[in-house]
Structure formats: structure tokens, C-alpha cells
């Protein structure tokens, strides 16, 4: 899939809406992120590296949309501004 095909597929999947994630963090360092607009899109981890969290969220969106592109094009398709972070800590 080339970059233009990926953009078109992603636009069709999202309906051109911006996707945001709510992140719940746990005291042990684990976290789970749920897409606010499409609840079936979720990802999680057990570390606190912000960039890695964003990368996993982007990957979850692309996987759900069925978009396969080289890693170098991911940021062109999805923007960091679509991610809400530091929502809170859950015991």
C-alpha cells in the first residue's frame, strides 16, 4: 500500500474525525489507552516512555483500519496531537 492509498483508507475508516485516546495509568507503571471515538481500538503497556505509548496508539489505529505502511510514513498519517495523556492513576 502506498502512502496515498494509506491516507485514503485511513480517512474512510475514521470518517475524517480526529481520534483521541484516554489513558489510565496504574501504580505499577502499567497503562491502558482506549480510543474515545472508536472504543474497540485499545492498546496497553507496562512502561512509561511517552513516545513509545504514542507509537503503540498509532499502531493500534493503523491496525484497526487495515493500513500497512512503512514506519517512516506513520507520523505523516497520524499526528501526536490526537493523543490525550496523563488522564490519571488508577490503583
Question: Would you kindly state where each structural domain of the chain is located, as residue ranges?
Answer: 3-90
Give the pLDDT of the chain (91 residues) as one tens digit per residue.
788 888 888 888 888 788 888 889 888 889 999 998 899 999 999 876 888 888 888 889 889 988 888 777 787 777 643 444 433 333 3
Whether 31 and 45 have beta carbons less than 8 Å apart is answered as yes
Based on its alpha-carbon atoms, the radius of gyration of the chain, rounded to whole angstroms, reads 13
- Which of 31, 15, 13 lies closest to 23, judged by CA? 31
How confident is the model at residue 44, as a pLDDT?
94
Largest CA distance in the chain: 43
Strands (E), the chain: 21-26, 31-35, 42-45, 89-90
Amino acid at each position: 500500500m502506498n502512502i496515498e492509498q494509506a491516507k485514503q483508507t485511513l480517512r474512510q475508516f475514521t470518517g475524517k474525525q480526529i481520534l483521541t485516546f484516554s489513558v489510565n495509568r496504574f501504580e505499577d507503571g502499567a497503562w491502558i489507552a482506549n480510543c474515545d471515538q472508536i472504543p474497540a481500538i485499545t492498546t496497553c503497556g507496562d512502561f512509561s516512555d511517552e513516545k513509545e505509548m504514542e507509537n503503540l496508539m498509532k499502531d493500534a489505529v493503523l491496525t484497526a483500519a487495515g493500513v500497512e505502511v512503512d514506519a517512516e510514513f506513520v507520523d505523516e498519517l497520524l499526528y501526536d496531537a490526537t493523543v490525550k495523556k496523563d488522564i490519571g492513576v488508577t490503583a
